[in-house]
Amino acid sequence: MVRYILFTFLILIVGCVETRDPRLMDVSQEGDDNITCEQITIEYGSNTDVATAKITKNDEDDVQDCFLCAIVWPGLADFKNADGNEGNALLDRNIRLKKIAESKGCDVSSYPEQPERYDW
């Protein structure tokens, strides 16, 4: 009997697992008016690298989430897609950075290709 109670308690605890909320980067940031071409290039490249990693991770986690939801327990699946949404926010920031760079006459031809947006 104790095993059944412990098992039920464990199932309830696991079912209440909370996944993390996405921390989205603001598209427009303080100091955007004073940013230099070199700073834009560095931030754009960094954002691209981080967004690629986050979106790839979230795409891989989607398969795991489907498995967890269908086979194990729905409470373990991440339905907030924090990494994918954070990656998309970085790509949105890059769109703004590129527009700022073009308005300042910066050379944007060397900017890295952007990954495909996370689409859930």
- Please give the torsion angle defined by the CA atoms of residues 75, 76, 77 and 82, in that order, rounded to the nearest 10 degrees: 100
Residue 17's pLDDT is 58
- Average pLDDT for 37-46: 97
| Helix segments in the chain, DSSP class H | 2-15, 37-67, 82-104
Residue-wise pLDDT for 49-84, tens only, equals 999 999 998 877 666 666 555 565 555 566 678 888
Q: Please report the pLDDT score of residue 97 as a whole number.
A: 97
pLDDT in tens, 82-91: 888 999 999 9
Contacts of 104 (CB under 8 A, 6+ apart): 37, 40
The two tokens of residue 78 are 């991440």
* CA 35 from centre of chain: 24
- Give the residue with greater pLDDT, 112 vs 71: 112
Measured CA to CA, the distance from residue 37 to residue 33 in angstroms comes to 11
- By CB atoms closer than 10 A (0-12, 13-18, 19+), residue 116 is exposed
pLDDT at 110 over 90: yes
